[in-house]
Every structure is written in C-alpha cells, then in structure tokens.
C-alpha cells in the first residue's frame, strides 16, 4: 500500500488519508480515518474528470441515487462532496484487495472463485439496473475482493464524459471482461474459464448488445447449475494472506496517525482454505488455477462411446466424451478403468541423500546426462563431469548457450553415446553440435542460424527451440518470424522441423507451416507428431509427420480444445508403445491413438467431484512405454498404456511457494522437463520447489529434495541412468534414484 506523496494532501473533507489503495479511471482510492477513528474508503476524483463540464452534475445525481441502494456486493455510500475544489466520495470500509492487484500478484483465480466473482458482480448490477442506474466502468480496478465476496466500488466515478451514456448491456460486457481477466490473468482467453462459466460469460461478450444476458438472467443461470460452493474461504490462501498483510499495515498506519483505534483485525486465514481441498488444475493462457470443492478428487470414466449429439465434457459430470472429430475409432475399444479409480496416495518421504555436490565458477544454463557423463553448459563454456563423482572428466569446450533451458526451450539431447546441443562459439552462432560422450570431443557442428530474404518478400528469421533424436536422425524444431513490422495475436504461429543425419550433421529435409507448432519426436520410429492451434478458440490439430517420407503430412485429428498446443517448444504430447497420447475434448480427456493410422485405441476422461471442468497437464511415459503418467493439478495418475487402466494416483499436499495449492509443475503444461523417468522411478517437481522421486510401481515417494536457496525460476535438473542431477546457482548435486 502506498501512502500519499509529500506533494499531495493528507486530508480531504473530514477524513485523514492513510494510504493509497488503487486508481480507478484517473481517480485515486485511499483508505482513510474519521476524526472519531472509524475507517472509510475515500475516492478522490481525478483532475481530468473533475474539469469536465458535466461531471459534477452527473456525480451529484449518481451519489444521491447510490445512497438509496443497498446490497451485499455494493460498497455503501456514506458521504460525498461534488462541489469541493477536489470532489470526493466516501464509502464504507471493507478489508480487501482490488481485483487487478490480486491477479497481478497471485495469478488467475480458481474456478470456484470465478463463479463467486461472477455471481456477486451480477447481483450488484441487478440492484443497480433495477433502480434504473448503471455503473459505466466496471473493471478490475473497481472490484474489491473481500472475505465475504466481491464488492463493486467507484459508482458514478467512471464511464465516458462525452458521447452516449453507458447502458445496462455495456455493464454486462464489462462484467464478462472482468471475469475473463480474473480467469486468464492478462491476454483474454475464454478457454481459461471453467466449463460452468464459459458459455454465459462468452454471451456477455457478444458484439451485439441485445444478445447479451441481463444481470438477473446471469444470476438465475448460476443458481440453476446448483454447483457446490467453495469450502472455507472462497479466495486462494495467497490472496487472503496478502489481504491480511495489507489490513495489518493499514491498522498500523491508523494507529500511527494518532487515532483512537478501530478494533480492526486482519481477516482470518483458514489453515486449510484452498490448500488441501483444491486438487485439480484448470489450465490458463499465461497462468493456472486450482479447482475447489469439499470432494474434489480424481475420478475416471473410460467409456469409449460418445455422448449422443454431444461432445467431450458435455452437460453434467457423468457425460461421456466424444472422440475428437477425425479420430477413427475401432469397432471395439476397451478402457476397463473403474468409475472412481484407485485411492490417491498422499506423497510423503524422507529427505534425499546426496551422492555428491560440487560448486563451479559459472551457473549452468543447460544440463544433459547419460549414465556415466553429465554435460554442463554455461554462458562461458561446456564441460563434462563424471556422473559417479562429479569430477571433471574431459577438457572443456568453448561452446556456450546463454539462454539455456526454459519453459519454451530445450536445446540439449542425448542418445546412443552422443550429446547434442544448440549453441554458439566465439566465432559462430546458431550451431547444432554433436559431442562424443566417451571422449568429450566434437563429432560435427552444423550452422543453424538462418535468415531468408529477397525477391520483395519480408525477411524470415528462424528460431530454434527444441532438439531431439530418433534413430539415425536429429531433429531441430522452432518457429519462423517475419520481420515485416506486423504482429497479431489472431495469427497462427509458423513452425518448422529440420532433419539432420546423426552421423554427419548433414541436412536431410525440412518442412514448415502454420500446422507445425508443437512437435513431438518419439525416441524410436519414423513418425513424429505435430500440433497446431490458433488463438480465439479456433480448433487445433494433431497431425502425424512421416519422417520416412521426408516430412510428408499423414493422418490428422481435430482437437476442439487446442489452446495449450499454441505453446511452442518442448512437446505437450506423449508417445508410448506405438501410441501417440494427447489431451482432447475440453482438455479433460486423454486420447491414445495408433501412431501409424490415427485410430483411437482408448480414451480416459478425468473429472472433479466438485462438478467443475478439469484440464490435464502434459502426459509423459516411462522408459519401457508400459505406463503413461498424467499430471492433473495436485494429482499424478499412472495409467496402463495398453488400455488406459488407472494403476495409482499420487497426490501432493500443502501449499506452493506463493501460498496456493501445491501442484505438479507438469500440470501447468509449460515444460515437459518438469517430469522425467528412469527405469523404475518417476521424478517430478512441484510448485513448492521440491523434487520428488516416486516409485513407478506403487506411486509412493522414495525421497524428496528441496533447496530453499534455489533460483526463483527453480533449479535445472535432468536424469541420467539411475541418478538425477540438479543445478542450483553455482552448485551441482547428484542423487541416486534409490537414495535414502
């Protein structure tokens, strides 16, 4: 909370200003204290608005009307002065955070909280509209999140000063935009909304005002859904903790101002609010939210038959998923998973015992390992360490990668005794290099940096994001940017695949197009999987790329919910035992299709008993391909690759580093390298900055490794043989898979 600057007034009307809370439409909102020590909220009208010729008359009328209105989601008007040199408005004080601040600091709100937000805003607007009034400026800055629900503020202080007056349908559009902002946390994406809100909030955003629902209709729509209310506090713990801190600071400011005290206490924060009960993930564009509900837990449905006339994730929690259009289902497709699935096992285990730890001179940017050697890349050199001891094994090389491994880039790979790296040297940039793991010497290097221009066409820049190996071929995938000065979020990404000989580095073939975006290269075989998606809820596509035919397109499957495939970089799909696996339906269903034909073998739908929509994370497979693992928020489910039968579910408990529910990072669908496997162990990181080693056969934790001093972005790590290697700042650590 900011206090008024030295150049500004510390008092307005009969109120002492304590601290600035937010800015709404050019007006500043302060917490304030009366001379009797009571807390209020005072909005000081901005000079631009106050100078408008018609503002004061309209403000006076709106204030008088607002005095007669009451409702649990409206901030009550206590006092105002439209004729003061600086007009102001005083409303009752409620401990809370502006919606914009809460989302900016803590990310999108979870599904149940979004329903509370939508319902509260609709009820507030219903009161206004019934009285013949409109708000005219509903938005993230004029909505306050409190322990009891949202509060609509800034009545009469926003809206246009010229042009046509706002209407109730304008308020409904603003309501839809506000809820969408809370769901997506930035770039508007209706796919970020839970299924229970997607249609009605989308209706609020219809371009034609008469097509938008009224506030009363929205309230009735939510009432008829009869979904369970959030258990405990409706807000995530991180938001309530921030709220408590802000309120405590305000209490200190009030006491320091010489007031007699108000008895104000920070809002209570329930120990289990939103922590143990929010178990499942809703994937968001630019963020993630966790579902709530007292009975939230994974439930499976494996019926392969589609809902008549419906689609995946259709009406009601018992609806069965329809295969994505284009998937050719066999005559019989069995998925004998039980309705409720196995009982979840809460992960708990001893701290890991380090095999060795070494401190270097430069922080690693990339890691890759075999069973005997660890390749460590920094922004100054590439070195090779003995996997058993951590000591230097070969002389260092002058190849570097400054950007390193990120959520979207994975510039290293290992296969058949050779390390591969996208790198630079002092003399050249944009190289693909191969290093012999037995000697540490470079086998070959191929120049990758490319710029295409000429003949009147815009210059095209090739960006490499991902390297992978299958058999005798190395693949580099990335994106192409046109340097023509134009950009639109509605334009699809143009991606590419380049194939090189693993023996010589010689280029073999390349393909590009808007249908190539997120690419999966299986460790064996000649079939790749490319996904594509465009914004604005257009369907994505899963498509086989036939490497045996120099990148020719093969079978295609439309994915109605394809939003997260718009992400480039490490693939968000999976290969196991001759099957490609990917999320479909509304993002709640895992589909397994034959890699050669695209025919569906089975599908498995994930549900939340709270009735809300679930969206799974990036699946990954064990080394033998017999098991596929699916992260879903705080849960990690192991399924038999052959038929999708659930084998076990491991569950995280407690809070993340920011105070929300602890979740598997793989469930956020931002990087496939947040979960990896050895022969008999699953390794996965979580949002509490912990690395877990999980027994692949039972789902029980072997050990956990935490590093409180790790970077804010988390540590780098990789698996080689039966060890996991972790880089945190300058420190490299090795842990055996069965360490105790």
What pLDDT digit, counting tens, does each position of 521-546 carry?
999 889 999 988 665 456 778 899 99
Q: According to the model, what pLDDT value does residue 563 have?
A: 61
Q: How confident is the model at residue 25 (pLDDT cuts 50, 70, 90)?
A: low
What pLDDT digit, counting tens, does each position of 506-518 carry?
999 999 988 888 8
Q: According to the model, what pLDDT value does residue 738 have?
A: 93
Q: How confident is the model at residue 192 (pLDDT cuts 50, 70, 90)?
A: confident
How many C-beta atoms surround the C-beta of residue 394 within 10 A?
A: 19
Please give the residue that has the higher pLDDT: either 19 or 731: 731
Tokens 């710029």, located at residue: 451
Q: According to the model, what pLDDT value does residue 6 have?
A: 35
- Please give the average per-residue pLDDT across 40-57, as a whole number: 79
DSSP labels, 416-460: TTEEEEEEB-SS--SEEEEEETTT--EEEEEE---EEEETTEEEE
Dmax over CA atoms of the chain, in Å, equals 83
Model confidence at 651: pLDDT above 70 = yes
Q: Are 25 and 35 in contact (CB under 8 A)?
A: no
What pLDDT digit, counting tens, does each position of 344-373 carry?
999 999 999 999 999 999 999 999 999 999
Tokens 């304030």, located at residue: 32
Q: In angstroms, rounded to a whole number, what is the distance separating the alpha carbons of residues 438 and 698?
A: 35
Distance of CA 529 to the CA centre of its chain: 23
Tokens 């008829």, located at residue: 224
Q: In angstroms, rounded to a whole number, what is the distance separating the alpha carbons of residues 67 and 76?
A: 7
Q: According to the model, what pLDDT value does residue 241 have?
A: 76
What pLDDT digit, counting tens, does each position of 298-346 carry?
566 554 333 323 222 222 222 223 333 333 333 222 222 334 568 899 9
How many residues make up the chain in this entry?
Answer: 740
Strand 627-632 with 451-454, pairing: unpaired
Share of the chain above pLDDT 70, in %: 75
Question: Mean pLDDT for the chain?
Answer: 78
- Please give the average per-residue pLDDT across 576-602, as a whole number: 91
Q: In angstroms, rounded to a whole number, what is the distance separating the alpha carbons of residues 584 and 604?
A: 10
Q: According to the model, what pLDDT value does residue 460 have?
A: 75
| The two structure tokens encoding residue 596 | 């050669």
What pLDDT digit, counting tens, does each position of 595-620 carry?
999 999 999 988 876 556 677 888 99
Q: In angstroms, rounded to a whole number, what is the distance separating the alpha carbons of residues 637 and 648?
A: 6
How many C-beta atoms surround the C-beta of residue 67 within 10 A?
A: 13
Q: How confident is the model at residue 40 (pLDDT cuts 50, 70, 90)?
A: confident
Instruction: List beta partners, residue 375.
Output: 368, 384
- Please give the average per-residue pLDDT across 220-226, as a whole number: 82
Please report, for residues 377, 413, 546, 590, 598, the alpha-carbon distance to residue 543 in angstroms, rounded to integers and kept in the order given: 33, 23, 10, 16, 9
Q: Which range has the top average pLDDT, 166-170, 403-407, 504-508, 672-676?
A: 504-508
- Please give the average per-residue pLDDT across 585-604, as a whole number: 90
| The two structure tokens encoding residue 84 | 């003061």
Please give the residue that has the higher pLDDT: either 278 or 322: 322
Report the range of poorest mean pLDDT among 43-57, 240-254, 515-529, 691-705: 240-254
Model confidence at 256: pLDDT above 60 = no
């Amino acid at each position: 909370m900011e206090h008024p600057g030295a150049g500004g007034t510390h008092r307005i009307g009969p109120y002492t200003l304590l601290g600035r809370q937010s800015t709404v439409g050019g007006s500043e909102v302060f917490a304030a204290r009366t001379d009797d020590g009571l807390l209020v909220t005072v909005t000081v009208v901005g000079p631009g608005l106050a100078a408008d010729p018609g503002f004061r008359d309209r403000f006076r009328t709106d204030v008088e009307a607002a005095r007669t209105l009451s409702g649990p989601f409206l901030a009550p008007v206590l006092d105002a002065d439209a004729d003061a040199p600086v007009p102001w408005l005083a409303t009752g004080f409620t401990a809370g955070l502006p919606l914009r601040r809460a989302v900016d600091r803590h990310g999108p709100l979870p599904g149940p909280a979004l329903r509370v937000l939508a319902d509260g805003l609709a009820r507030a607007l219903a009161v206004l509209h019934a009285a013949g009034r409109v708000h005219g400026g509903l938005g993230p800055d004029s909505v306050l999140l409190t322990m009891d629900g949202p509060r609509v503020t800034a009545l009469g202080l926003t809206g246009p000063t010229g042009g046509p007056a706002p209407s109730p349908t304008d308020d409904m559009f603003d309501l839809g935009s506000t809820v969408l902002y809370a769901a997506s946390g930035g770039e508007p994406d209706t796919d970020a909304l839970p299924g229970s809100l997607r249609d009605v909030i989308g209706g609020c955003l219809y371009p034609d005002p008469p097509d938008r629902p009224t506030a009363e209709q929205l309230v009735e729509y939510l009432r008829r859904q009869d979904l369970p209310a959030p258990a405990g506090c409706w807000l995530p713990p991180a938001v309530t903790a921030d709220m408590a801190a802000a309120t405590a600071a305000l209490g200190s400011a009030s006491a320091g101002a010489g007031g007699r005290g108000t008895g104000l206490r920070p809002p209570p924060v329930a120990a289990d609010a939103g922590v143990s009960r929010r178990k499942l993930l809703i994937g968001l564009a630019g963020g993630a939210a966790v579902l709530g509900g007292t009975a939230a837990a994974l439930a499976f449905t494996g019926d392969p038959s589609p809902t008549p006339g419906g689609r995946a994730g259709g009406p009601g929690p018992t609806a069965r998923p329809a295969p994505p259009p284009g998937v050719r289902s066999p005559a019989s497709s069995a998925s004998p998973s039980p309705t409720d699935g196995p009982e979840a096992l809460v992960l708990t285990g001893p701290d890991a015992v380090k095999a060795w730890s070494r401190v270097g001179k430069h922080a690693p940017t990339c890691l890759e390992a075999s069973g005997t050697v660890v390749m460590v890349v920094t922004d100054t050199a590439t070195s090779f360490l003995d996997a058993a001891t951590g000591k230097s094994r070969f002389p260092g090389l002058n190849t570097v990668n400054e950007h390193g491994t990120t959520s979207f880039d994975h510039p290293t790979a290992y296969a058949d005794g050779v390390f591969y790296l996208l790198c630079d040297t002092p003399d050249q940039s944009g190289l693909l290099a191969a290093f012999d793991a037995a000697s540490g010497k470079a086998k070959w290097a191929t120049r990758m940096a490319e710029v295409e221009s000429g003949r009147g066409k815009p210059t095209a820049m090739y960006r490499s994001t991902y390297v992978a190996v299958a058999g005798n071929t190395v693949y580099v995938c990335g994106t192409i940017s046109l340097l023509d000065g134009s950009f639109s979020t509605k334009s699809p990404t143009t991606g590419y695949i380049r194939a090189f000989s693993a023996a010589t580095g010689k280029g073999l073939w390349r393909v590009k197009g808007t249908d190539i975006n997120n690419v999966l290269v299986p460790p064996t075989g000649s079939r790749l999987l490319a996904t594509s998606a465009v914004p604005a809820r257009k369907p994505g596509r899963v498509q086989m790329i036939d490497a045996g035919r120099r990148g020719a397109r093969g079978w295609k499957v439309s994915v109605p919910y394809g939003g997260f495939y718009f992400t480039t970089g490490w693939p968000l799909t999976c290969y196991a035992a001759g099957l490609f696996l990917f999320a479909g339906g509304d993002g709640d269903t895992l589909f397994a299709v034959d890699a050669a034909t695209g025919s569906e073998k089975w599908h498995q739908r994930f549900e939340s008993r709270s009735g809300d929509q679930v969206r799974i994370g990036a699946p990954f497979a064990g080394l033998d391909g017999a098991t596929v693992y699916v992260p879903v928020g705080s849960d990690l489910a192991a399924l038999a690759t052959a038929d999708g039968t659930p084998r076990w579910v491991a569950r995280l408990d407690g809070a993340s580093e920011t105070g929300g529910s602890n979740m598997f990072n793989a469930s956020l669908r931002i990087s496939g390298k947040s979960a990896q496997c050895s022969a008999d162990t699953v390794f996965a990181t979580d949002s509490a900055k912990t690395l877990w080693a999980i027994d692949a056969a039972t789902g029980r934790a072997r050990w956990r490794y935490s590093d409180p001093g790790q970077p804010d972005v988390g540590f780098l790590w990789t698996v080689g043989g039966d060890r996991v290697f972790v880089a945190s700042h300058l420190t490299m650590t090795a842990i055996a898979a069965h360490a105790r």
